[in-house]
Amino acid sequence: MIIIGCDFHTRYQQIAMANDETGELLLERRLDHQSGEAHTFYRNLQGPVRVGIESTGPIHWRVAQPLA
């Protein structure tokens, strides 16, 4: 399974993606929200993925937006 840790901000998110079986860091990247970069990134993931969100501010506005 792929695990993604996400530091979520209003305009972008900083992510780190790892393989939970090997512990290998697969990717560190900043994803923009307004351009649709984050949306496209998550829609293109294959297989089981778990995302953990670190956020100190209101996150409900983003959680309510479906990827479909």
Write out pLDDT tens, residues 9-33: 889 999 999 999 999 999 999 999 9
Structure tokens at 10: 């209003």
Residue 7 has pLDDT above 50, yes or no: yes
Residues 41-61: tens digit of each pLDDT: 999 999 899 998 886 666 555
Q: Measured between alpha carbons, how far is residue 28 from residues 7, 25, 57 in Å?
A: 11, 8, 22
Give the gyration radius of the chain's Cα atoms.
Answer: 12
Residue spans of the domains in the chain: they are: 2-63
CATH code matching the domain that covers 2-63, chosen among 3.20.20.450, 3.40.50.300, 3.40.640.10, 3.30.420.300: 3.30.420.300
pLDDT at 68: 46
Sequence-ordered list of residues with C-beta below 8 angstroms from that of 62, at least 6 positions apart, any chain: 8, 33
What is the pLDDT at residue 3?
A: 95
